Copies of this chain bind each other. A is one copy, B any other.
Amino acid sequence: MRTAQTEPTAAPEERTGVWLIGARGSVATTAVVGAAAIRAGLARQTGCVAALPPFAELGLPDFDRLVFGGHDIDETPLVKRAEQLADAGVLPQALLGPLAADLAEADAEIRPVGGGGAGRQDLLIETLAADIDSFRRRAGLDRVVVVNVATTEPLAEPDPACASTEALDTALVAGESPLPYSAVYAYAALKSGCAYVDFTPSAGARLPALHAYAVAAGLPYAGSDGKTGETLVKSALMPMFARRALAVRSWSGTNLLGGGDGAALAEPSRARSKVESKRRVLDEGLGHPVEGGVHIHHIAALGDWKTAWDHIVFDGFLDVRMTMQFTWEGCDSALAAPLVLDLARFMALAHRAGESGPVPALGFFFKDPVGSTVHGLEEQFTALVDWARAAAAVRV
């Protein structure tokens, strides 16, 4: 950050673009519908962290200053996706009529993911960045935040070319394809001068080459893997055991996921990304490795819903063994969408305040917080409030 002041410098007149990778997916559609509903006074800000009192006067961009666009390989119209979600009980049926124009507007700003010249990553990155530039210009935006809500990519060994910006650029120019696809989008976002958020466990901007680029370019990024359900509960319960000196012996988690995310995670290589990000939470959160593990199973019958069951064995006084279990039954898109909106708004603040590189204070939103090993939810919230106040006070 640059210099701090005592007074937050609200900038309500600014217009912020929210560019969604996977813009026709369930989470993105729910975010677009929800933002429009809130703007129209048709919905409350339930689930929106930025609506809480501590953030009231910090100049976060209002809902009527957010403009949506994005990339997607799917071509189903947003309005159709919204209908599907309404049939599944994720969106209220009654919203679809009044918000049809908003959906059409966002739909018109969604770009396909084209070839880029015989599949060369350097050309693809250029095309994607140009799409975002064009969006910024046409919509008259002060800044754009790019949020990746696409399907989780398989966990892969990073290509050596990802180790530095120079190596990466050399490989790209040579026509190589060293980047996992999430990083292609991340690089395009950064090249286009945008703040970048990874809501999935994919590699994204965390690769050393992209991290270095972001720092050099003075761009903030945040991630990874939105904390929406089982891990959210974990991050509230782990400190409970720790503060009471109760010794957790095992923590076993089973996640039943329907929907597209569930289907993707039924592939072991994709699930590995998420399982590792969930597992790290426990070891880092409790301060020592713990028996158990996290398991993800695809259950199509659950639709857009997910159920997590966690079983915890712990020792109390004189090593008496006890257990706790919880079941979390949530709607995946309804849990994720408000956080996507929160992140867009907080990242607009970070961008305006001149932050560059990872923003650890946004770890509150993530399973695998880049730049931080804090997982306790309250500690994360306190850090978020402190950071947001300071960032809002930066004279820009």
Contacts and interface: CB of A to CB of B under 8 A. Distances in A.
Interface of A: 30, 33-34, 37, 43-49, 51-52, 89-93, 95, 232-233, 235-237, 239-240, 243-247, 249-250, 252, 254, 256, 291-293, 295, 297, 299-303, 307, 309, 311, 313, 315-331, 334-335, 337-338, 364, 376-379, 381
Given A250-B301, A256-B311, A245 B48 contact: yes
A46 B254 contact: no
Contact of A291 (B30, B300, B321): B300
A89 B47 CA distance: 22
Contacts of A318: 30, 33-34, 37, 43, 46, 90-92, 95, 334
Contact of A49 (B43, B47, B245): B245
Secondary structure of the A contact surface, majority rule: mixed
Interface centre among A239, A313, A320, A329 (most CB of B within 10 A): A320
A48 B250 CA distance: 20
Contacts of A324: 233, 326-329
Interface centre among A48, A233, A323 (most CB of B within 10 A): A323
A303 B91 CA distance: 18
Contacts of A334: 316-318, 320, 322
A239 B236 CA distance: 8
A148 B219 CA distance: 59
